[in-house]
Chain A
């Protein structure tokens, strides 16, 4: 293990996080909140101090292999969550540290689950920081570092893989630096256009920026207790629903559209399935819940929004799904697992993984009925390599195992098994709301400190796709 290089990478990442902490200070000045100087200034100084100590000298041996890549990314995410929680504690708005940590992790991992009873009581700078962590965590901080870094580090793939979502990670262009720049370019463009569209819908500037950041990372933090439902505007709901769905699409597709390789973009099986699942789920749930709303329009409006919000792992809400029939609630719970596309900012298991799993299942079935049958698992008409298939199955197994352990630990808190399980599922898939007590109308504030730490861990597991975080705790001899 090259610890010097790991801390160097961590330093680079922390530098970026530290600099971004200046933004809430700016927001605080605009809205005349004086406490920001202390509550964001102190964490800023701490972050920069650590970052500068770590990056003061570039290590001579700059070899980064997959182990170093995984560990540095996981360690950075843990550290930046720990530091990112400080403003909430110092400003006194979330006085107890585990709760603040939960809120920050939920931000960075784009979960959007909150422990706050009354969101509206928070100061504007803190609310901005909360939403901004979504934006930063959505595409990934390391990706940002890669995009702005000027050094010619060639072994960046190991780090990119640790932070990017999906069963396979590749570059868009031959230089990782340019790939990262392209991705951030697309990301920023989409975020800005969403904010502009929201402004057109009559949303105030501050709210528009917060909600654009929040949906860009498919996070789900809002500034209102009743989330998007607060505006009660079809236009705003549809803009947000459309954009979270767009943020849940593999970003490579936008690049293909940009370079006019339309056939590559339209033929993508994963994205087609993703849209198919959204449409199918909307129709099924709409039929199931139509009695609760007046008319087809209203029903579709709420079901479409909630399906989009669930599958993309955003976790915004316009209506309380706890009042829905159990069937619909269960379907939403299943959508949580499906998640969005690989290479997007969304969470969940990712559509492509589920597709590979189902296709492998079909292949096995064929093999059982006819042992002479030879079949290949294919995606986009190309065979999927055995290693990828195996990786996906292993991922599922690990995911389920860790989920069961987490559920067990959370039940110590004394809630029903249903509620405990839904809390874990929502955290591991980075959604933001569960069922029952933890539904869209409720919050996770009732949990004790231990459960909060377990759930923090779950959220990081979900965002970094398990392996990097596990690597942190694997004993090593090297």
Chain B
């Protein structure tokens, strides 16, 4: 497909990175240096210019483009350039709109202005954090097949009952209907077979239905028993904090926000109900003690500076906070994050990129490609892809044990109608099934790619 990306910031470049393999990508930005760097690193065409000028859009062949993605720093520019692009013939437009002021008119913009999709990274990040707080043991949770399958990432702590258990014993001994699809041990990422023995320190990715995931968490952690997060402290009162606070209150969590800027505090207190807001420097240890931050069930660090967030998270962890969530913008610097004792790291950028990518995949899907959802995990080394079985191929109806899968690939689950199947050797694929595949190989476009 022909894709135009406007705005060459963090999100724009990350999108160019993941899209340039399969699609014809053109990037537009005002800054020469950014365009130059992106077109050096990725196989994309770069155009320097203002994305609101029809001349510039014309040069990018906007009339032939399938998806137009506006991710500049300004909401207004994004919306406007989408409108112009739409008028000039772009088929689908995606705008990044982050200001909460536009929240209520998203439907208007979609239906009346014809912008196909609005992405709000702050809202998405808040969503992701809320999900993590709902299951305190989990590091990350993604959902597939319209929420019927969850993909959860957890870390095995020492003393856990999973320590030293072989995967084949898992379902027999514990009667858990989950599938471990990938294990990250140190720097190594493996797609395990039944003989694989789990060890403390491993990070595991598993798929199961929503209720089974809850059951799983209940049985692995003796202390789990309804131990929900009841109180949370958010350090930093930016837009993510605003969205998160709203969601947490809905979940019945007591929320406290610590924000250094008085005006921002006032603004937050105007807009939010039932939230404690303190105007203080959240990086001051004394204040944190005074505010009883360490007594909270969860601490979420949301300041604008990655380094501060990481240090604050480590501090909270050291002081015995059960669940710590860290917001990090520059994920590329986080390759060492496993060596730190941080359990959940959330990157608004990665979430935005994933969301846009899902949309692109869905469009591609409507053009005959069968991928519906795609997640990139573990620093983009692992992909979890959802395929739809469209028509009778040679692999349809054959028991899985008779099919030869390529190495590094696992069929994690099959969704047939409302039923979730954790596949065994005797199961087979049928037309209209949704199949979730976990792989370390990139560039799977079709289900037939996974078989030898």
Task: Show the binding face of A for B, using Cβ within 8 Å.
Answer: 66, 152-158, 170-178, 385, 387
Contact = CB atoms under 8 A, between A and B. Distances in A.
B43 A154 contact: yes
A177 B43 CA distance: 9
19 contacts: A152-B43, A154-B21, A154-B41, A154-B42, A156-B43, A157-B40, A171-B45, A172-B45, A174-B2, A174-B20, A174-B24, A174-B44, A174-B45, A175-B24, A175-B43, A176-B43, A178-B24, A385-B32, A387-B32
Given A173-B24, A174-B24, A175-B24, A155 B45 contact: no
A203 to B, nearest CB: 41
B245 interface: no
B309 interface: no
Contacts of B40: 66, 155, 157-158
Contacts of A155: 40-42
Interface in B37-63: 39-46
Nearest to A153: B43
A458 B2 CA distance: 43
B41 A174 contact: no
Contact of A174 (B25, B32, B443): B25
Given A174-B44, A174-B45, A385-B32, A157 B24 contact: no
A175 B43 CA distance: 5
Nearest to B26: A174
Contacts of B2: 174
Nearest to A168: B36
Interface in B1-55: 2, 20-21, 24-26, 32, 39-46
Given A173-B24, A174-B25, A385-B32, A157 B39 contact: yes
A90 to B, nearest CB: 41
Main SS at interface, chain B = mixed
A387 B33 CA distance: 10
A60 B41 CA distance: 17
Contacts of A385: 32
A154 to B, nearest CB: 4
A376 B44 CA distance: 29
Contacts of A175: 24, 43
Interface of B: 2, 20-21, 24-26, 32, 39-46, 443
Q: Which interface residue of B20, B25, B26, B40 has the most chain A CB atoms within 10 A?
A: B40
A134 B111 CA distance: 59
Contacts of B39: 157, 170-171
A176 B21 CA distance: 11
B55 to A, nearest CB: 11
B271 to A, nearest CB: 43
Nearest to B443: A152
A385 B36 CA distance: 12
B232 to A, nearest CB: 41
B448 to A, nearest CB: 19
B170 to A, nearest CB: 33
A170 B43 CA distance: 11
Given A173-B45, A174-B43, 9 more contacts: A66-B40, A154-B21, A154-B42, A158-B40, A170-B46, A171-B45, A172-B45, A174-B24, A174-B45
Q: Which interface residue of A158, A173, A175 has the most chain B CB atoms within 10 A?
A: A175
Nearest to B60: A174
Contacts of B32: 385, 387
A148 to B, nearest CB: 16
Contacts of A156: 43
A156 B24 CA distance: 15
Main SS at interface, chain A = loop
Nearest to B58: A261
Nearest to B33: A387
Contacts of B43: 152-154, 156, 174-177
B14 to A, nearest CB: 13
A78 B443 CA distance: 36
A158 B40 CA distance: 7
Q: Which interface residue of A154, A156, A178 has the most chain B CB atoms within 10 A?
A: A154
A25 B417 CA distance: 65
Nearest to A387: B32
B284 to A, nearest CB: 42
A156 B21 CA distance: 13
B5 to A, nearest CB: 10
Contacts of B25: 174
B288 to A, nearest CB: 42
A105 B21 CA distance: 36
A177 B46 CA distance: 15
Contacts of A66: 40
Contacts of A174: 2, 20, 24-26, 43-45
A174 B2 CA distance: 9
Nearest to A264: B59
A312 B40 CA distance: 30
Contacts of A171: 39, 45
A175 B16 CA distance: 12
A157 B41 CA distance: 8
B45 A170 contact: yes
A107 B21 CA distance: 36
Nearest to A152: B21
Contacts of B21: 152, 154
B188 to A, nearest CB: 15
A172 B39 CA distance: 12
A172 B47 CA distance: 11
A264 to B, nearest CB: 9
B301 to A, nearest CB: 33
Nearest to A176: B43
Question: Which 7 residue pairs are nearest across A and B when measured between Cβ atoms?
Answer: A174-B45, A154-B43, A174-B24, A154-B42, A152-B21, A157-B40, A171-B45
Contacts of A170: 39, 45-46
A175 B1 CA distance: 12
A175 B23 CA distance: 9
Contacts of A177: 43
A146 to B, nearest CB: 10
A377 to B, nearest CB: 15
A153 B46 CA distance: 17
Contacts of A172: 45
A192 B43 CA distance: 30
Nearest to B22: A152
Contacts of A173: 24, 45
A395 to B, nearest CB: 18
Nearest to A171: B45
Contacts of A153: 43
Nearest to A161: B40
B69 to A, nearest CB: 14
A154 B23 CA distance: 12
A152 B41 CA distance: 12
Given A171-B39, A174-B26, A154 B20 contact: yes
Contacts of B46: 170
A332 B45 CA distance: 38
A5 to B, nearest CB: 15
A177 B45 CA distance: 12
Q: Which interface residue of A158, A173, A174 has the most chain B CB atoms within 10 A?
A: A174
A157 B35 CA distance: 13
Contacts of B443: 152
Nearest to A172: B45
Contacts of A176: 43
Contacts of B45: 170-174
A66 B40 CA distance: 9
A271 B43 CA distance: 28
Nearest to A157: B40
A157 B42 CA distance: 8
A178 B26 CA distance: 14
A153 to B, nearest CB: 8
A168 to B, nearest CB: 10
A87 to B, nearest CB: 36
A114 B2 CA distance: 48
A419 B25 CA distance: 52
